Amino acid sequence: MPDQANENRNKLIFLLTSSFLLYIINAYLIQRTSHFALFSSFTSLFLLYLFTIKIVNSDKLIRFAIIGSIVIRLCLIFSIPNLSDDFYRFIWDGRLINSGENPFSHTPSYYIANPEENPIGYDLELYKEVNSQNYFTIYPPVLQFIFWISTYFSASIFTSVVIMRLFIIASEVGTLLMMQSILKKNKLPLKNILYYALNPLVILELTVNLHFEAVMIFSLLASIWYLGQNKMARSSLTFGLAISSKLIPLIFIPLLIKRIGFQKSIWFALIATFFCLILFSPLISIDLINGMRSSISLYFQKFEFNASLYYILREIGYLVKGYNIIQTLGPYLAVVAFLSIIFYSIIEYRSRVNIATAMMFSYCIYILWATTVHPWYITPVVALSVFGTFRFSVVWSFLVFLTYAGYGQNGYNENLWIVAIEYSFALGFLFWEILKIRKMQIPLKA
């Protein structure tokens, strides 16, 4: 037995070291248009990820692997995001706040067209990199606070990136601690944490490419943890923090009403709403309302990427109407998604899944009706799957990365075959798991 333990430890060291080197190459050297290098490195990382999970068979090795995942994240701290340019908008918003401007007041293009009203100067170099020049910002106050801090100490883009990444890594460490606590309390396998901690999509999209689902995931898991401790006030406060990081957790409200009861959910909602108002207060104005409304409207009526059911309905629209019907279809799909989540929330307790798994399915319903599904949108699915036995999220986290094949030197050209393969295999694996798992999980302990 000691020899086997030493062999597994040596294998783990080798796998983590190999992963570390590939992450360094991927984060510091590869661009998203270098398809062969990008997908070969990602595929290799994914295989190492699966092998690592397979050979880890003791709590000691699990904790070693978790520490290794944190070390990997820390070693990526000085990289500039190579798969997403969203961070330029983060910096733009941060500089506006530091200049005393409300980031929801105007679009970037407005300031360039009206230089006399531009508080940060022309800043054409930054403006050229912003991918949403004609759109209002959509990022809630917690993220705006991070953007402000990241630009407060220096005008350097590199410095801003490093500061934002520190917030994300801190959130990721918090997430791993929350996962460990929830798994331990509910007597679930500690090994499950590795499905998230070492997942290549999670590390690349959150730590490397600076997507703040990391903050939302941490806040949401903290809310679940406090809910399991029956600490309703703390749970509602952290839920409000999650909403103030990303608006998506709003979709879980019907589920929470069903789980904790109508009377308790009223107090839960009131505390969460009050906390959100406090967090939003520095930005509250008519500009905030108009800007958020415009951004949300554009999200449902114009943006389309890697969708599933929407693409099928869009093709029917082409046949019937002869043009893209997203402007009318998008808002309807948002309503259908919300009604579907309410319906699921009403019937889901019959399946006896825990609240984290129920949230995972609610989020998947939202994703299936969405017009836009970027790769990092799948990271919450991976996080919530840690508390159950469903592993379709692992398959999905690999397949969704293939959508980067559409990026070329001349922009983005989506390959619908890749989209079809992604959803067919991911959902196919889910249905296979549902058929296989006759006895589903019991609820997390309250």
Position 439 pLDDT exceeds 70: no
Q: Say if residue 329 is in the same domain as residue 427.
A: yes
Band of the pLDDT at 284, cuts 50, 70, 90? Answer: confident
Final residue in a domain of this structure, among 235, 252, 284: 284
Residue 73's CB is within 10 A of a number of other CB atoms, namely: 21
Q: Say if residue 267 is in the same domain as residue 384.
A: no
Q: Using a CB cutoff of 8 Å and minimum separation of 24, what contacts does 313-319 make?
A: none
Report how far residue 352's alpha carbon sits from residue 144's, in angstroms, rounded to the nearest whole number.
38
DSSP-derived secondary structure letter, 399: H
Band of the pLDDT at 64, cuts 50, 70, 90? Answer: very high
Full domain range(s) for residue 76: 1-209
Band of the pLDDT at 445, cuts 50, 70, 90? Answer: very low
DSSP-derived secondary structure letter, 138: -
Q: Say if residue 344 is in the same domain as residue 248.
A: no
Element (H, E) at 407: strand 407-408
Q: How many domains does the chain have?
A: 3
Under 8 Å between Cβ of 239 and 219: yes
Q: Say if residue 342 is in the same domain as residue 319.
A: yes
Q: Say if residue 276 is in the same domain as residue 323.
A: no
Q: Say if residue 197 is in the same domain as residue 292.
A: no
Nearest residue to 249 (alpha-carbon basis) of 211, 285, 276 = 276
Report how far residue 34's alpha carbon sits from residue 37's, in angstroms, rounded to the nearest whole number.
6
Report how far residue 368's alpha carbon sits from residue 334's, in angstroms, rounded to the nearest whole number.
11
Place of tokens 């809310």: 223
Position 148 pLDDT exceeds 70: yes
**Amino acid in the structure at residue 84:** S
Q: Say if residue 280 is in the same domain as residue 290.
A: no
Position 60 pLDDT exceeds 90: yes
Digit-coded pLDDT (tens) for 152-164: 998 899 999 999 9
Final residue in a domain of this structure, among 234, 263, 284: 284
| Length in residues, the chain | 446
- Rounded average pLDDT over 173-201: 96
Which three-class secondary structure state does DSSP give residue 155? coil
Q: Say if residue 150 is in the same domain as residue 29.
A: yes
The alpha carbon dihedral of 344, 346, 347, 348 has a sign of positive
Q: Say if residue 171 is in the same domain as residue 225.
A: no
Report how far residue 98's alpha carbon sits from residue 152's, in angstroms, rounded to the nearest whole number.
6
Q: Say if residue 254 is in the same domain as residue 276.
A: yes
* b/e 413-427 (16+ beta carbons within 10 angstroms → b): ebeeebbeebbeebb
Report residue 433 as tokens.
């798991």
Q: In 302-373, where does DSSP find H-type helix?
A: 309-321, 326-347, 355-369
Which has the minimum average pLDDT: 68-82, 129-143, 374-388? 129-143
Element (H, E) at 96: helix 86-98
Band of the pLDDT at 351, cuts 50, 70, 90? Answer: low
Report residue 252 as tokens.
């879980």
Under 8 Å between Cβ of 291 and 136: yes
Report how far residue 305's alpha carbon sits from residue 375's, in angstroms, rounded to the nearest whole number.
10
- Rounded average pLDDT over 339-358: 85
* Percent of the chain whose pLDDT exceeds 90: 72
Position 299 pLDDT exceeds 80: no
Beta bridge partners of 412: 407
Which three-class secondary structure state does DSSP give residue 373? coil
Final residue in a domain of this structure, among 284, 309, 343: 284
Report how far residue 273's alpha carbon sits from residue 257's, in angstroms, rounded to the nearest whole number.
15
Position 143 pLDDT exceeds 60: yes
Prediction pTM value: 0.94
Report how far residue 138's alpha carbon sits from residue 140's, in angstroms, rounded to the nearest whole number.
6
Element (H, E) at 292: helix 286-301
Position 250 pLDDT exceeds 80: yes
Report residue 123 as tokens.
């800043």
Nearest residue to 214 (alpha-carbon basis) of 196, 194, 234, 226 = 196
Which three-class secondary structure state does DSSP give residue 408? strand
Q: Say if residue 171 is in the same domain as residue 202.
A: yes
Under 8 Å between Cβ of 227 and 181: no
Digit-coded pLDDT (tens) for 211-247: 999 999 999 999 999 999 999 999 999 999 999 999 9
Cβ-proximal residues to 88 (8 Å cutoff; 6+ apart), any chain: 126, 129, 130, 131, 157
Q: Say if residue 198 is in the same domain as residue 266.
A: no
Digit-coded pLDDT (tens) for 362-384: 999 999 999 999 999 999 999 99
Report how far residue 435's alpha carbon sits from residue 428's, in angstroms, rounded to the nearest whole number.
11
Report helix, strand and coil shares of the chain as percent, to nearest 5: 75, 0, 25
Under 8 Å between Cβ of 135 and 107: yes
